[in-house]
C-alpha cells in the first residue's frame, strides 16, 4: 500500500558521508521511499548543521528555501512543510503566504521556540484553518524536563480547542502514547503522530483504542529514527488491514486533499 510519512527532517545524521558518486543522506531516503512507496512531508530544522533555539526571520526563509530545493530534487517523493518561529508572528505569516500552497509546500511546522498554548500562535493557526492545511507541532514530556519552549500534549490540546476548525497534528504524541492520548481524547481536530518512539508491542493498538484509527497518522522522524523500525509499529500491530491503511496513508491523504489552494 502507499504510505505518507508526515514527519521527516532533512539534515544528515551524525557521521554520514556522501559516497564517491556524490550520493548523500537524502538520496538514500529517496531510495527507501521509492522501494516502499512512501511520500515524505519534510521540514528543515537545522541550518548549517546546527540546532538553533530561536531562529530569526532570515533563518526561517533560508530553511524554507533549502527545503524547496530538497522537494524539487525528490522525484515527486517529498512535500514541504513551512518552518516558522511563532515568536515572529508577522514574519511567520509572510513565510506561510509565500510557501504554503505553492512550490510543493502543504502545511506548517512550528519550531519549539515558544510553548504552543501561547496567544502568539493564534494568528498562525487561524490562517491554517482558513486554508485547510495541517499545523504540525513537536510535543514531548521528558523526565529530565522539557526545553524552555518545548510543548507538552496538554498545551497542544489547549491550542487545538481554541481553533476547532484547524487540522492539528501532534508530533510524537508527547513521546508517550498513553499520556498523549489523554490530551487528544475528545478533541476531534487533533491527529496523533506515531513518530520517534520505540516500537513497543501494543502501543499503537492502545492509541487507536483511545482516539480511534481515523485520528492516528504515520511519521518516522527520519533521520532520528529508521523508517523500517517506525513502520514496524504499524505493520506488526494487531490492527486490521483497514486501520493500518488509514494510519499509513488514508488519514493524511484526506488531510492533504482538504487544502484550499491560493496560488500556483
Long-range own/partner contacts, residues 244-248 (CB < 8 A, 24 or more apart): 244/1, 245/1, 246/213, 246/214, 246/216, 247/194, 247/204, 247/208, 247/213, 247/216, 247/217, 247/218, 248/1, 248/2, 248/3, 248/4, 248/218
CATH code at position 62 = 3.20.20.140
In this structure, how many other beta carbons lie within 10 angstroms of the beta carbon of residue 218?
25
Most confident of 21-25, 60-64, 154-158: 154-158
Q: Using 50, 70 and 90 to split pLDDT, how confident is the model at 16?
A: low
Q: Is the pLDDT of residue 52 over 90?
A: no
How confident is the model over 165-194, as pLDDT tens digits?
Answer: 999 999 999 999 999 999 999 999 999 999
Is 263 domain-assigned?
Answer: no
How far apart, in Å, are the Cα atoms of 125 and each of 44, 60, 100, 182, 219? 20, 17, 13, 22, 21
Task: Check whether 198 has a pLDDT greater than 90.
Answer: no
8 A C-beta contact, residue 156 and residue 168 = yes
Angstrom distance (rounded) from CA 66 to CA 59: 11
Ordered DSSP codes for 165-228: TSEEEEEGGGG-HHHHHHHHTT-TTEEEE-TTS---TTHHHHHHHHH-GGGEE----BTTS-HH
Q: What does the pLDDT look like over 206-231, one tens digit per residue?
A: 999 999 999 999 999 998 888 999 99
The confidence band for 163, taking pLDDT boundaries of 50, 70 and 90, is: very high
Specify the number of domains making up the chain: 1
pLDDT at 24: 78
Residue 82 CA to residue 98 CA, distance in Å, equals: 9
- 264 domain-assigned: no
Residue 74 is predicted with a pLDDT of 94
Supply the range of the domain harboring residue 43: 3-14+22-257
Least confident range of 56-65, 73-82, 229-238:
56-65
| Burial profile 139-148: b = 16 or more Cβ within 10 angstroms, e = fewer | bbbeeeeeee
Alpha-carbon distance 69 to 48, whole Å?
A: 15
Flag whether 108 is in a domain: yes
Cβ atoms 136, 7 nearer than 8 A = yes
Query: Residue 27: its pLDDT value, please?
Result: 87
pLDDT band, residue 152 (cuts 50/70/90): very high
Q: Is the pLDDT of residue 51 over 80?
A: no
In-domain check, residue 262: no
Amino acid at each position: 500500500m502507499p504510505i505518507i510519512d508526515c514527519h521527516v527532517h532533512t539534515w544528515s545524521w551524525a557521521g554520514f558521508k556522501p559516497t564517491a558518486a556524490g550520493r548523500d543522506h537524502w538520496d538514500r531516503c529517496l531510495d527507501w521511499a521509492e522501494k516502499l512507496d512512501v511520500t515524505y512531508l519534510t521540514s528543515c530544522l537545522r541550518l548549517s548543521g546546527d540546532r538553533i533555539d530561536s531562529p530569526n526571520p532570515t533563518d526561517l526563509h533560508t530553511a524554507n528555501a533549502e527545503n524547496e530545493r530538497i522537494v524539487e530534487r525528490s522525484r515527486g517523493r517529498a512535500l514541504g512543510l513551512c518552518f516558522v518561529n511563532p515568536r515572529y508572528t508577522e514574519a511567520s505569516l509572510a513565510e506561510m503566504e509565500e510557501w504554503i500552497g505553492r512550490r510543493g509546500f502543504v502545511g506548517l511546522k512550528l519550531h519549539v521556540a515558544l510553548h504552543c498554548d501561547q496567544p502568539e500562535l493564534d494568528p498562525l493557526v487561524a490562517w491554517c484553518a482558513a486554508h485547510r492545511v495541517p499545523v504540525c507541532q513537536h510535543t514531548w514530556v521528558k523526565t529530565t524536563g522539557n526545553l524552555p519552549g518545548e510543548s507538552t500534549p496538554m498545551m497542544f490540546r489547549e491550542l487545538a480547542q481554541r481553533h476547532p476548525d484547524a487540522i492539528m497534528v501532534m508530533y510524537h504524541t508527547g513521546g508517550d502514547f498513553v499520556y498523549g492520548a489523554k490530551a487528544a481524547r475528545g478533541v476531534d481536530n487533533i491527529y496523533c503522530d506515531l513518530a520517534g518512539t520505540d516500537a513497543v508491542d501494543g502501543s499503537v493498538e492502545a492509541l487507536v483504542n483511545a482516539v480511534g484509527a481515523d485520528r492516528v497518522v504515520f511519521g518516522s522522524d527520519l533521520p532520528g529514527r529508521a523508517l523500517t523500525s517506525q513502520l514496524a509499529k504499524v505493520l506488526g500491530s494487531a490492527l486490521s488491514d483497514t486501520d493500518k491503511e488509514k494510519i499509513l496513508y488514508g488519514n493524511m491523504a484526506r488531510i492533504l486533499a482538504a487544502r484550499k489552494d491560493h496560488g500556483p
